[in-house]
With several copies, the nearest count.
Chain A
Amino acid sequence: MASSTHLDFEKPILDLYKKIDELQALSDKEGLDMTKDIEQLTQKAELLKTKIYENLEPINIVKLSRHPQRPISGDYIENIFEDFIELHGDRSYGDDHAIIGGLAKFEGRPVMIIAQQKGKTTKENIYRNFGMPQPEGYRKALRLMRFAEKFEIPIITLIDTPGAYPGLTSEERGVAEAIALNLQEMIGIKVPIISVVIGEGGSGGALGIAIGNTVAMLTYSIYSVISPEGCAAILWRDAGMSPLAATNLGLISSKLKELGIIDSIVEEPLEGAHTNYKKVFTKMRAFLKKELTKYSKYSHEELTNQRYDRFRKLGKYTEA
């Protein structure tokens, strides 16, 4: 495993691999032929791994989605696109570091990238406000989307946020208004919008840049109306109930695909994106290419109608 940070549920697998290593060391040292045993154990480990990862509890997927080594927006921008030119500011208050945006080339053609950006180090995370945008982040996003619309440049949004920043400054400058306006205006943007949740899709703060023609998720990302911790604290008044909350909220990619909330899942390596960046970049590139090709044939009207219809139909209710 490439990662140095391990999660609880990985322990049985790690134990097995440790045993295999020990066996190998022993065999080398003593000159014994333990090939067969090692083979058997490796096979067992692989089976266990598959079994564990294919049956992860939602709360463990929540942990994977927040994994400190998980690729963040900047990694995708750097590795999938060329000539990224960051464009700053909302033209009225500030430049939010939790949402980055800019022009880049993808397979030779221009795209506008709007992405929520966390950090990997504490310093980076403080600079990025832990990926929690303030109003000016959403306003910058809208400004850049309008720029893209003006020049017929497709938009790609990458979602990775615990939520909009729940702070005084954020409320003062109208974070609710900023998110609301994006929800309204993104529906009418006359270029393709492809949205991918790459880590945490935290509530309205995520939705505020996720009004795509296609909305996708990476396998182990989450998208939720509230964090499982917040939900448990409110409904059960007991943070210990987060695992159950995570299950009930239906926040994992497979469930959301089944519910029709998202359209596609971009496949991660079995053990998570953080274990093999290259693999996930390849999948992401292929996914974006397919989507951009598809929508390049749509007229303005088809694009906005398709996007409207996509969101119009969401929500289950009974009608007598």
Chain B
Amino acid sequence: MSILDWFATKNSANKSVTSKLDIPGNLWIKCIACGETLYSKDFEQNLKVCPKCEHHFRLTCHERLNITVDADSFIEIDYDLSPADSLDFTDIKAYKDRIVEANKKTGLNDAIITGEAKINGSDVAIGIMDFGYMGGSMGAVVGEKITRCIELATKKQIPAIIMSSSGGARMQEGMNSLMQMAKTSAALYRHKQQKLLFISVMLDPTTGGTTASFAMLGDLNITEPKALIGFAGARVIEQTIKQKLPKDFQRSEYLQEHGMIDHIVPRNKMKSFLANIIEMTNYHKQKIEETETVEQE
């Protein structure tokens, strides 16, 4: 089920890449949402949001990292984890070969980077998924890295932030993949027991087993405008119910109306939004620490 989403969304991902390559020299790109021709540099400066229609283009995990955490504050952890082909899985391609290709394409060992960082000076544990690596699918590496990232947050008593964009579980790892849903959610249980903040940022697209585990478990569930967020794939649902789906089905705004999303945050406001929430939820703890410091002096 989950992987159907991955495929459904895979196509539109390719589309956005293609329209960029159409223009010689890459100085100009064309917005896939409104057709506007944009000067590449302006587009980059606008954080890859179309200035005309505000379409939020997808980012790589490193692009996302750069606009989210304080400069030079990120200390990556667990970068040396890479996928194992425990089922010897082959479809039209061998999973082993897919791993090599994905690594070549993205430079990543798997579909997520994790680490410690600061946001406006506050410590956080952060994980950022990359849809470019096998549709951001969650295999054992993604699950393990998210789990360790959350465990680190629990240990250090700091907030955790996971920014998802993922087609769900990774079929090629079979049940080992499904179990990552349980593992990541379990880690969040312990984080929550310590009354720590978890913000889930669901980015375009977040579907399947990713949505049905850690991504829906934020103290706050945040998203960008018009991101695709869902469990089952739209085509599967249409086949099941034999009806057309609503126009904004599984988009941020739809999910907010249905009670699942706390707040839709435009890309240029995301960092300050996160900082604000972290500050407010840290207020009491800091106050106590200050008092204790004063008393000790």
Is A–B contact present in the complex under a CB 8 A cutoff? yes
Chain A 68-87 interface mask (CB, 8 Å, partner B; 1/0): 00000000000000010111
Q: Is there a chain B Cβ closer than 8 Å to A9's Cβ? A: no
Residues of chain B whose beta carbon lies under 8 Å from any beta carbon of chain A: 1-4, 6-7, 78, 80-84, 86-92, 139-141, 143-144, 147, 169, 171, 173-183, 185-190, 192-193, 195, 197, 208-209, 211-217, 219-221, 230-233, 236-237, 240-241, 243, 245-246, 249-250, 256-263, 273, 276-277, 279-281, 283-285
In the complex, chain B residues whose CB is within 8 Å of the CB of A89: 256, 258-262
Can you list 5 A-B contacts (CB < 8 A)?
Answer: A86-B263, A91-B260, A153-B283, A231-B3, A317-B82
Contact A223 B217 (CB under 8 A): no
In the complex formed, the residue of B with least CB distance to A314 is B179
Contact A171 B232 (CB under 8 A): yes
In the complex, chain A residues whose CB is within 8 Å of the CB of B212: 164, 175-177, 179-180, 183, 204, 208
> In whole angstroms, what is the CA distance A148 to B122 when docked?
20
In the complex formed, the residue of B with least CB distance to A97 is B257
In the complex, chain B residues whose CB is within 8 Å of the CB of A224: 174-175, 178
Contact B284 A153 (CB under 8 A): yes
In the complex formed, the residue of A with least CB distance to B191 is A184
Q: Which residue of B4, B141, B175, B214 contacts A256 across the interface (Cβ within 8 Å)? A: B175
> In whole angstroms, what is the CA distance A308 to B184 when docked?
11
3 smallest CB-CB distances across A and B, nearest first, come from A315-B140, A89-B259, A166-B232
Main DSSP-derived SS at the A contact region: mixed
- With A176-B230, A188-B193 known as contacts, the answer to whether A318 contacts B82 (CB < 8 A) is yes
Q: Which residue of B183, B219, B258, B283 contacts A109 across the interface (Cβ within 8 Å)? A: B283
- Report the contact-size class of chain A (Cβ under 8 Å from the partner): 35 or more
- With A225-B174, A226-B1, A318-B83 known as contacts, the answer to whether A176 contacts B216 (CB < 8 A) is yes
Report A181-200 residues with CB < 8 Å from chain B CB. Answer: 181, 183-185, 187-188
- With A95-B258, A167-B241, A259-B176 known as contacts, the answer to whether A87 contacts B220 (CB < 8 A) is yes
In the complex, chain A residues whose CB is within 8 Å of the CB of B86: 259, 316
Contact A180 B216 (CB under 8 A): yes
